[in-house]
Amino acid sequence: MSISIKWFPRSWFQIKAKDKIIYIDPAYLRTYFTKYSKKIEFSKWPGPIDGLPEKELEKADAILITHLHKDHCKRVTVNRLKKKDTLIIAPEHCLTELGKDIKVIRPGEEISFGNTLVKAIDAYNTPEGSSTRKLHHKGYGVGYLITIQGKTIYHAGDTDFIPEMKKIGKVDVALLPIGGTFTMDLQEAVQAAIAIKPKVVIPMHRLKADPLEFKRKVEAKSNIKVVPLQIGEVYQLK
């Protein structure tokens, strides 16, 4: 049974497995990102509303939030995607945006639901890292290791290339930021990908970085497959 991974800007993913729908960082789209992102990214976006496209997305069994910034954590979008029993996992500071009905997680902690295991991993900017704006201090946000149907997906969150990435173990798909302003840039993301050694990398939080250049550089130096997705495009993990 395959797992589908669908991307929306900046770092919003839908992960759909046999009996689970998980969202990571569902947040603003057109109304928030237009002034930051290349217009070409949004020319294909089908709807003008603030949180979701015109075509209704499936409700979530779980929603994972990496940190409080509005391009990752937005109450209106979470509320549109959740059911009465949706599990919402986030760092403690997200309580101010999402309310008290969330499961707080810290780096190193694990939460399981059904046959799915979620582990929080550190995500932060480093003094020596390539990010030009150091807004993500250690302990502020997280990345996630999601193990489902025997596969492990790593969502790095907003981060530079950090030592913890070398120790996370087997990863089937890594979702890595490459934008360079608030996260590691393309060159540093290449180093991170090679250190993590996933089978597949999907670039996210792209800003002005060229995902095709990232693909060329990673695949020239490794056996890792890089899959740049368009808005709403799906990768099937088998």
Q: Are 45 and 70 in contact (CB under 8 A)?
A: no
Q: Which residue has the tokens 């695949």?
A: 219
Query: From first to last of its 238 residues, what are the pLDDT tens digits of the chain?
Result: 799 999 988 899 999 998 899 999 998 655 434 443 444 444 444 444 454 554 568 899 999 999 998 889 989 889 889 999 999 999 999 999 999 999 999 999 999 999 999 999 999 999 999 999 999 999 999 999 999 999 999 999 999 999 999 999 999 999 999 999 999 999 999 999 999 999 999 999 998 899 999 999 999 999 999 999 988 889 999 9
Pairing of strands 225-226, 234-237: unpaired
Pairing of strands 3-8, 12-16: antiparallel
Buried b (16+ CB within 10 A) or exposed e, 101-139: ebebbebeeebeeeebebbbbbbbbbeebbbeeeebeee
Whole-angstrom distance, CA of residue 19 vs CA of residue 90: 22
Alpha helices in the chain (DSSP H): 30-33, 39-42, 75-81, 95-98, 186-196, 211-221
Looking at domain 3-237, its CATH architecture is 4-Layer Sandwich (3.60)
List, in sequence order, every residue forming a beta bridge with 95; answer none if it has no partner.
none
Q: Domain-by-domain residue ranges, the chain? A: 3-237
